[in-house]
Amino acid sequence: MGTNTILKRMAADGKFLEKLVNIVEEVYRSSPGTEILRNYKITNVDGAKREFDLIITSQINGYTITIAIECKQYSKKVSVDKIEAFYGKCQGIPQIDKKIFVAENGFQQGALDTAKRCGIELYTFAEIGQRLRETLQVNRVKPVFKRFEILSVGCECDGELPEIPLEDVTVFHSVNGRDTYNYYELLIETARPEAAILNYTALFNHFKDHQTSQKVNFKALLTGIYFIYNDTRIYVRQIECNAVIDIELSDMHLIENTYMAVNQDEPKATTLSFDLDNKVTGSIVMDKDEKLHFFDTTGNEINKLEVMLEYDTASGQFKKPARP
């Protein structure tokens, strides 16, 4: 699937804009008592349930404050009738204290005038160029195992251990007598539980030196494995090797948007959203203070991610980020 196809699919998703607004409001959540509710229904004065794209509730000095947000992802500017419909829906629910309307491509003049008269704040969440992407240099990074390079084999046997060229040993046996291995099969079997650590180490080293081929030292500790040499059973206790892991870099399918109040120059936030093979989606949010926030938005879920490590280019070390 090409980049343009995926970007169009993301943009055509009616919930995409709602998710973006949701995660930005999550970034600015200032109180643990604040709730952000998506596709939430409230009963109006006539007893009918009305659904809102987003409802934010918070406690201030013992009072509950309710904000209703409407999101419209149209290819054209929002017309006045959409503003009037949103205003009418809110009028039937007295507990709504603030009304916000967000549109991807702005508002017609009649909509601007009506919103001002009705006390509705207007925001745009327009797609922009690649400013944040170029600043962050976002790429998809994938570790791919290639091969093992054997460095040494630690053995023991009854009597004096002879010098044995590695190439003279081609078959290993298990003491249970049921399994035989070659070097590759033996190393794969022992490295499998450590695969995640090997891949992470390769990625960390890549972030440090930017080399796309990494050698990660690995020691396979073995029990019950032996080979036969000159009619002598020789037990293998350890195989030291390098796992050669290539780092594949590829472009990601990205949409960059800016969230801004109408008639204001400074954006409330800039978002960078991505789609990985139509399986995983996420967003990076840069707030007004240029601080980055990371979200997993796969499916209908929104989960804020915690940064576990940061790479300090000055010291060449990974460190835990400072907590507020």
Tens digits of residue pLDDT in 120-165: 999 998 766 555 555 555 667 889 999 999 998 888 877 777 777 8
What would the 3-class secondary structure string for 214-238 be?
EEEEEEEECCCEEEEECCEEEEEEE
Q: pLDDT of 74-98, one tens digit each?
A: 889 999 999 999 999 999 999 999 9
pTM of the model: 0.68
The mean pLDDT value of the chain amounts to 85
Q: Is the pLDDT of residue 182 over 60?
A: yes
b/e map 236-256, b = 16+ CB within 10 Å: beebebebbbbbeeeebbbbb
- Higher pLDDT, residue 99 or 210: 99
The rounded distance, in Å, linking the Cα atoms of 272 and 239 is: 45
Q: Is the pLDDT of residue 250 over 50?
A: yes
pLDDT: which is higher, 70 or 231? 70
Q: Which residue has the higher pLDDT, 263 or 71?
A: 71
Query: Which pLDDT band, with edges at 50, 70 and 90, does 5 fall under?
Result: very low
Domains in the chain (CATH in brackets) are 3-136+252-319 (3.40.1350.10), 140-250 (no CATH)
State the Rg of the chain over Cα.
Answer: 29
Segment 223-237 shows an average pLDDT of 89
Q: At what angle do helices 80-91 and 109-118 cross, to 10 degrees?
A: 20
